[in-house]
Chain A
Amino acid sequence: MKSKKLFLVVLCCIILAAAISYRYYSKGRPKPEKQAKKETVVEPGKKKVNPSRPEDYGMMVTHGSISEEETQRMIAQKVKVLKSSLSSPDREKLKEKIKEDPKKTKEKLEKVDVAIRQCQEELAENPDNQAVKKRLQRLWTLKTIASELPK
Chain B
Amino acid sequence: MANNRGTILPITLGFALVFTMLGTASLYMSTLQSEAQEKQVLSQKAFWLAEAGLIQYLHNWSLDPKVPPPTNQQPFADGGIYDAAVLIEGIIPRVTVTGNYNGIKRTVSAQFIKIPKAFENTISTGGNLTSHGAGIFYVNGKTRISGAYNREGWVSGGFYDRQVGVSQGDTTIPIPDYSAGDEFRDFVQFGMNAMGSYPAEQVVHIEADDGDTVWISPDDELIDKKVIFVESPTPGLVDVNILFGTTSPWQADQDLTVISTGTINYYQPLQFSEDSRLSVVAWDDYTEGSVLYSQHAGVTYAHDDVFLTDLLEIGSYTGNLIANGANPNPNLYDWPWPLNDTAINNDNGISLVELLTLQSYYYSSDVRDGDIPPGFELLFTVGNPHIFNWQEG
The interface of chain A, by Cβ under 8 A from chain B, is: 2-3, 6-7, 10, 13-14, 17-18, 20-21, 24-25, 29-52, 54, 56-64, 66, 74-75, 78, 81-82, 85-86, 90, 93-94, 97-98, 100, 108, 111-112, 115, 118-119, 122, 126, 129-132, 134-135, 138-139, 141-143, 145-146, 149-150
Contact = CB atoms under 8 A, between A and B. Distances in A.
Contacts of A57: 204, 216, 219, 221-222
30 contacts: A20-B24, A21-B27, A31-B103, A32-B100, A37-B83, A39-B85, A40-B88, A44-B91, A44-B378, A46-B196, A48-B196, A51-B206, A52-B204, A56-B221, A57-B219, A59-B206, A85-B218, A93-B272, A97-B272, A100-B313, A111-B312, A112-B310, A130-B341, A131-B340, A132-B338, A134-B239, A141-B241, A142-B267, A142-B290, A145-B267
B97 to A, nearest CB: 10
B217 A82 contact: yes
B100 A62 contact: no
Contacts of A50: 200, 205
Contact of B193 (A34, A44, A149): A44
Q: Determine the main DSSP class of A at the interface with B.
A: helix
A130 B338 CA distance: 13
Interface string B200-221: 1001111111011111111111
Contacts of B287: 138
B72 A63 contact: no
A15 B41 CA distance: 32
Given A32-B81, A142-B291, A58 B222 contact: yes
Contacts of B86: 39-41
Interface string B103-127: 1000000000000000000000000
A53 B220 CA distance: 15
A64 to B, nearest CB: 5
